[in-house]
Every structure is written in C-alpha cells, then in structure tokens.
A = this chain, B = another copy of it.
C-alpha cells in the first residue's frame, strides 16, 4: 500500500491524557484512535495487526478441534438471572430494556448447547468465538490493555467427566503457549497460578512480563511456573523452591475448570442426568495488541514481530525530488507487489528523509528498504532490520532473491 493513499498520518506529539506507552505509540503511529477512555477505533494499520493476531489464535483453536461461532452482545436479562449474575458490576445494562451487554458468554453458550448435546455420544464438544466484549471498567487507563470495549477469543468445552476435561485443559494450555510463542512473547510469558473459584483451588493465567502490567507475579525459573501475588505464599507450589523472581506482568490469557457451575443451573446434563463438566478459556485479542507494543517496543517506536506486522517490508523513497529515484522506486514497489510481498511504500513527496526514517522506526515494520540517489548510484537498495543498528546494501537485481530468503 502506498503511504500517500493511507488516510492515517503519524504524529510527533504524545496524545494528551494517554499515560500508557502502548496507547501513545499506537496513536502516534496511526494504528488506533481514542474515542473515549477505554474505547478505541482500530485504524487500517491496527486492524491489519489485529486480524493477524486473530488468525494465529484461530489456527490454534481449530487445531484443538474447536468450532467457531459468533454469539450476540445483547444478552437477555433472564439468562443472567438464572445464574445470579445479572447484578454484577462488570455488566453494562441497556436503559429501559431487559438486556445487558456481554462481557463473557457462559450464560449464552450453555443453554445453546442444550439444543445439540443430546447424548453422551455427542461429547466432548468445544466452541469458540472471536468477538467484541463490553465491560463496565472503572480503571480504563492502560490504553489497549484494559478497555471498556475490546476483542476477545473465548472458548468453551463440554465433557462427560472430569478426566476428559482435564485432558482437554492440558491441550488448551499447549495451544496457548503456541499463541504466545508465535506472537514473539514466548520467552516472557509464564503459566501462572491464580485464585480458583468454586471448583478448583487454582485457575491458570498466562502472564507476560512488562512494566506496564498491573499484576505482580513470582516466577520460579526452575520449573517455569509463576504464582500470582493473590495466591502466593513465598514458595513455588510445584517444586517448593523459594528462589522466586518478583515481576510486574499483564494477564494475556486465563483458563478455568468451571465444573458444573453453569451446566447445573441450565440443566445441561448427560444421559444419566449428571450436569456436564465445563471449561472456559479466554485470550484478549486487543490486549495482546497492547501487550506486544509494551513488551517489544524501543525508544524509537514499535517493534512488530514478523508474524503480526502490518506489512513485512517498509519501502522508503528518499530524494523524491529526483525523477530517476521516483521512477526506480515505483518500479521496485511494483516488482515486490507482484512477488507477493506485503509492502508499505512511503512515496510521500512532502516529507524529509529524516521525517521518513523516524516514521519508519515509529511504525515498526520488521524490514526497511531505502532507495535514494546514493543507493541507486551503486544500483542498490539499503536494507535494515528494525531491531538492528546495521544496514547493508543489496543490488537491485538480487533484491527479490534476498527478500525471499529473509522475509
């Protein structure tokens, strides 16, 4: 895409009233726009990243045999009264109408499954959605990390017995680790014990280390398990080690063994009339967008991992006053497009070289290609990775082969 065509622009100044790094960078670089506290528009660049995060999550859910559906946001009062959760503070309610806005979907999917899970032969089954959630959030001050409106993946599984849930739960854990690894967060994301609720002592969170995190976790590097402060007692519950590292972290996933908490009130039962055993598993998609920015950025701007970068290549035209540079650079852009590379092409004529290079660092595309009078004088393109200080020169006639190996 040509940058002159993109309707968004970068901005130099930090947006007023945004304290979080993720929102500052995402707004300045033109990935999101703030409509109100905790409520953001995904601009074209931001939507491209979010779609790639969604695709990674979707692939991992599909690999678990889970089936995608899309449930509504308008929830009738009566289903929430069935479980006694109509009056929780998380829920926005519609004025003068018997609806609340969904912040989770146990109350929708459990009665829905009664239509279809009719015999033990129908079990186990799992279904997920990638959907917009709403949450009455008093502390919406962390940019994309904690929103009043946000995109989540929520998966629900239904089982005949506890053993079957336990097996599936372990498989979901692995799928979650796959997601974080593919997002470039693998090394800094830890399975973390958190408070459990009615049916188990602990639940499991996935926590990514970042100074912007609102949680405190204690990491045991020996057994790669962390404990949330809310349930910590000075030693690792798994190996007993007291050699723990205290870190700030952001919760990027949470999985629960719900047992019969929702299947019992909705009477979703097996042939023997026992309530089904249920699990639920959440990942915040837009929270991951913010987390990647918090965890991987540097002082110049965002650093996208290749897997979710809005484009693979940022082609930057310098010396746009020179007709030969423009012509040659347009030619290179056409070739890269034809070869199927995802390219953002900074063809803007009104910007200086310095402005363009600063913008490129701010936007954070993994590979930068600069075409200028200087590079053309040796028939070359200057190539630099966003995370590297060194640039190198590649001959134009070797460029496509080089990129095929390195993108």
Question: Which A residues fall within an 8 A CB radius of B?
Answer: 5-9, 11, 30, 33, 35-36, 39-44, 47, 50, 65, 67-76, 92-97, 99, 101, 108, 112-113, 115-118, 121-122, 125, 127, 132, 134, 136, 148-149, 350
Contacts and interface: CB of A to CB of B under 8 A. Distances in A.
A156 to B, nearest CB: 11
A72 B8 contact: no
A7 B67 CA distance: 8
Nearest to A42: B70
A59 to B, nearest CB: 15
B97 A94 contact: no
Contacts of A127: 7, 44
Contacts of A125: 7
B74 A108 contact: no
B41 A67 contact: no
A41 B70 contact: yes
A35 B95 contact: no
For the complex formed by this chain, how many copies does it contain in all?
2
A101 B42 CA distance: 17
Given A76-B36, A94-B92, A41 B65 contact: no
Given A7-B113, A69-B47, A74 B41 contact: no
B116 A72 contact: no
Given A47-B68, A92-B97, A94-B93, A73 B33 contact: no
A67 B6 contact: yes
A348 B257 CA distance: 30
Nearest to A9: B116
A72 B122 contact: no
Given A5-B65, A7-B113, A41-B108, 12 more contacts: A7-B117, A7-B125, A7-B127, A9-B116, A30-B116, A35-B72, A41-B69, A73-B134, A73-B149, A93-B94, A95-B96, A121-B350
A95 B36 CA distance: 17
Contacts of A43: 69
Nearest to A11: B115
27 contacts: A5-B65, A5-B67, A7-B116, A7-B122, A8-B116, A9-B116, A9-B118, A11-B115, A30-B116, A33-B112, A35-B75, A41-B69, A41-B70, A41-B71, A41-B108, A41-B112, A42-B70, A47-B68, A47-B69, A73-B73, A73-B132, A73-B134, A74-B148, A93-B94, A93-B95, A97-B136, A121-B350
Contacts of A6: 67
A71 B75 CA distance: 21
A71 B42 CA distance: 6
Nearest to A77: B36
Contact of A67 (B44, B50, B76, B148): B44
Nearest to A92: B94
Most buried by B among A41, A112, A127: A41
A306 to B, nearest CB: 22
Contacts of A44: 67-69, 127
Contacts of A33: 112, 115
